[in-house]
Structure formats: structure tokens, C-alpha cells
């Protein structure tokens, strides 16, 4: 039996066993089905990540378990420092903290990072959050000095990806792609000042298009519009409304229900107001 098939058999067994254990735990503790589902997903993905990085070295900080290869020995302490600063800044911003240490994996190149997700070879990302785990590309691939802390904090992925983690936790995994990308960009801009380059001719997408087809849309326009929606909410309804929407999502509301209950406006009315805002930019 090849290693790939064996790993997936092990993961399947882990999923089944963890589902039974977590189900009984949730029943005893009174946790919801959403809590159970999220816990199972994070447990299985965490175990898969551990298997994939079994030959990586490990460094533990106060809030992270960092997995890295020998090629990143010189910059791992800098990344750990940046991770802890992101933890402090984003946790303070939302008044929320993760329940446990977060696994942070540093990949030595784009290829190995893509392989961990089964992505195409030409896909590129500096950081990815998935199922309780943060994965980042080594700064050696994009920084002239891979130990330059301030540059890594400002333009690196730590604040962005850690925000994804807290969005996931606060909503109990009940969120749309456009929402988490908009919130992550907003928090990143507020904390570090970093913002993606605006598209020259942005394409307008309806909320339905963002919700259903985010990854198939023009990515620069979709990301830009997602941030713009969060900024519109903050300007019109206050920053606390973003928090309230996430709490509503965490209680099982749909995106439409969460917006309507938190903002006190119908979904169609909200979209009309945002479209006018979009045109005025």
C-alpha cells in the first residue's frame, strides 16, 4: 500500500473515532452541533497537517506550535515573534482569543505548500488558514532579508491569517468566503496599514455572486469589494456591527439573517445602499 493511500486510511479512521469522541463530549458539555462539526474538522485537519510535517522541526511559543524545515532555522524565531505580535494585536482588536495553541507551518517553497493542499503547481499564496491551522510561505521566497521583522509584520500574512482563525472561531465556522476575506483585509489594514493594490477597473458583483462564486470571480475585484463592504458597514453602522454580525453567524444565522438583525435593514436595502457607495468610490 502506498503512503498516500495509507495516510488517507489513517485520516478516515481518525475522523470516525474523533467524531464519536467529540459527539459524546458535546452531549455531556451541552455544546451545539456547530461546535461539534467545527471541532471534528479542526481535529482531522490538524492530524493531517501533523502527518504531512512529521519530519519538520518544531518550535513552541506561548500561543503557537511552529513546524519548519532546517532551511528556515535562521528566520523561525522572527516568524514566531511576528506570530505572537499578530496574536496580541488581533485578539485585542476583537476581544477574543483562541482556545488553544495554533499550529503554524512554514513551507520552504511554493511547491511544498501547494502540495499540502493538492493545488496546481502555479498557484501562489503567502499564507493560508484552514481548519485551525495557519500555513505560511517562508519569507526567504519574497524578502531580500528573511529576518526583517518590520517588513514581515507589515507585508507578511500573519495578521491576515490569524484574523481568519478568529473569524472561524467566532462564527463557529458559519461564514462566507467574501465575509472572512473582507474582515481579514479590514483588520490587516487597521493594524499594519497594509492593503492590496486596487483593481484598475473593478467589477461589481452582487452579494449573491460573492457568496456563490467567490473563487471563480476576478480575484482582485472580489477581494477589493469584500473589503469595501466591511468598510461600508463600519462607516454606516459602526465597527461594533461587524462583531455583532459574527456573533449572529456563530448562533447559526445565515449571512442575510445576520446582516438584517445586526444592522436593522433588509438585505435588498443594504445591497442598494452599498451599490451607491461602490459607485461613489
Q: Are residues 73 and 154 in the same domain?
A: yes
Q: Are residues 196 and 247 in the same domain?
A: yes
* Count: domains in the chain: 3
Mean pLDDT of 247-257: 96
Q: What confidence tier does 22 reach under pLDDT thresholds 50, 70, 90?
A: low
Give the sign of the dihedral formed by CA 160, CA 163, CA 93, CA 145: negative
| 5/187: higher pLDDT | 187
Kindly report the backbone phi and psi dihedral angles of residue 182, in degrees, each rounded to the nearest multiple of 5, phi listed first.
-65, -45
- Give the domain extent around 100: 55-169
Whether the per-residue pLDDT at 23 is higher than 70: the answer is: no
Give percent of the chain above pLDDT 90: 74
Q: Are residues 176 and 276 in the same domain?
A: yes
**pLDDT tens figures, 109-144:** 988 988 887 776 667 789 999 999 999 999 999 999
Nearest one of 238, 231, 252, 93 to 159, comparing CA atoms: 93
Q: Are residues 273 and 202 in the same domain?
A: yes
Whether the per-residue pLDDT at 6 is higher than 60: the answer is: no
pLDDT of residue 42: 77
pLDDT of residue 50: 85
DSSP the chain: --HHHHHHHHHHHHHHHHHHHHHHHHHHHT--HHHHHHHHHHHHHHHHHHHHTTTSEEEE-SSEEEEE-GGGTTTHHHHHHHHHHHHHHHHHHHT---SSPEEEEEESSHHHHHHHHT--TT---SEEEETTEEEEE-GGGT-SSTT-HHHHHHHSSHHHHHHHHHHHHHHTT---HHHHHHHHHHHHHHHH---PPPPSSPPP--HHHHHHHGGGS-HHHHHHHHHHHHHHHHHHH-HHHHHHHHHHHHTT--HHHHHHHHHTS-HHHHHHHHHHHHHH-
> Is residue 177 within 8 Å of 215, Cβ to Cβ?
yes
| 35/160: higher pLDDT | 160
Q: Are residues 188 and 220 in the same domain?
A: yes
**pLDDT tens figures, 163-191:** 999 999 999 999 999 999 999 999 999 99
- The mean pLDDT value of the chain amounts to 89
pLDDT of residue 175: 95
Mean pLDDT of 64-86: 97
Q: Any idea which residue has 472580489 for its cell?
A: 222
Mean pLDDT of 248-265: 97
Among 105, 137, 169, the domain boundary falls at 169
Mean pLDDT of 197-223: 96
Mean pLDDT of 62-89: 97
Q: Are residues 95 and 162 in the same domain?
A: yes
> Is residue 227 within 8 Å of 190, Cβ to Cβ?
no
pLDDT of residue 40: 77
Q: Any idea which residue has 496599514 for its cell?
A: 193
pLDDT of residue 122: 66
Q: Quick one: cell of 85?
A: 505580535
Nearest one of 145, 209, 165 to 64, comparing CA atoms: 165
Among 139, 169, 199, the domain boundary falls at 169
- For residue 99, the domain's CATH number is 3.40.30.160
Mean pLDDT of 40-65: 88
Q: Are residues 105 and 210 in the same domain?
A: no
Q: Quick one: cell of 73?
A: 532555522
| The model scores a pTM over 0.85 | yes
Helices 239-250 and 177-192: angle between axes, nearest 10 degrees: 140
Q: Are residues 202 and 258 in the same domain?
A: yes
Q: Are residues 120 and 193 in the same domain?
A: no
Kindly report the backbone phi and psi dihedral angles of residue 64, in degrees, each rounded to the nearest multiple of 5, phi listed first.
-135, 150
Q: Are residues 195 and 232 in the same domain?
A: yes
Amino acid at each position: 500500500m502506498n503512503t498516500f493511500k495509507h495516510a488517507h486510511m489513517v485520516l478516515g479512521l481518525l475522523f470516525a473515532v474523533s467524531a464519536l469522541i467529540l459527539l459524546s463530549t458535546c452531549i455531556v458539555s451541552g455544546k451545539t452541533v456547530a461546535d461539534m462539526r467545527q471541532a471534528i474538522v479542526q481535529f482531522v485537519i490538524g492530524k493531517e497537517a501533523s502527518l504531512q510535517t512529521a519530519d519538520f522541526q518544531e518550535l513552541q511559543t506561548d500561543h503557537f506550535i511552529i513546524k519548519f524545515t532546517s532551511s528556515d532555522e535562521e528566520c523561525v524565531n522572527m516568524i514566531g515573534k511576528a506570530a505572537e505580535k499578530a496574536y496580541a494585536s488581533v485578539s485585542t482588536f476583537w476581544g477574543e482569543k483562541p482556545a488553544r495553541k495554533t499550529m503554524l507551518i512554514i513551507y520552504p517553497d511554493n511547491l511544498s505548500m501547494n502540495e499540502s493542499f493538492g493545488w496546481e503547481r502555479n498557484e501562489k499564496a503567502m499564507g493560508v488558514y484552514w481548519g485551525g491551522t495557519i500555513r505560511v510561505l517562508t519569507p526567504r521566497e519574497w524578502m531580500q532579508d528573511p529576518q526583517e521583522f518590520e517588513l514581515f509584520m507589515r507585508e507578511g500574512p500573519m495578521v491576515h491569517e490569524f484574523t481568519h482563525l478568529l473569524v472561524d472561531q467566532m462564527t463557529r465556522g458559519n461564514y462566507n468566503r467574501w465575509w472572512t476575506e473582507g474582515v481579514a483585509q479590514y483588520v490587516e489594514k487597521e493594524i499594519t496599514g497594509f492593503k492590496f493594490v486596487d483593481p484598475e477597473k473593478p467589477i461589481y458583483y452582487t452579494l449573491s455572486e460573492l457568496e456563490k462564486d467567490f473563487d471563480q470571480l476576478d480575484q482582485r475585484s472580489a477581494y477589493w469589494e469584500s473589503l469595501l463592504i466591511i468598510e461600508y458597514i463600519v462607516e454606516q453602522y459602526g465597527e461594533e456591527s461587524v462583531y455583532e454580525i459574527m456573533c449572529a453567524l456563530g448562533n447559526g444565522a445565515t449571512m442575510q439573517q445576520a446582516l438584517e438583525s445586526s444592522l436593522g435593514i433588509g438585505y435588498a436595502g443594504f445591497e442598494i445602499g452599498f451599490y451607491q457607495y461602490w459607485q461613489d468610490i
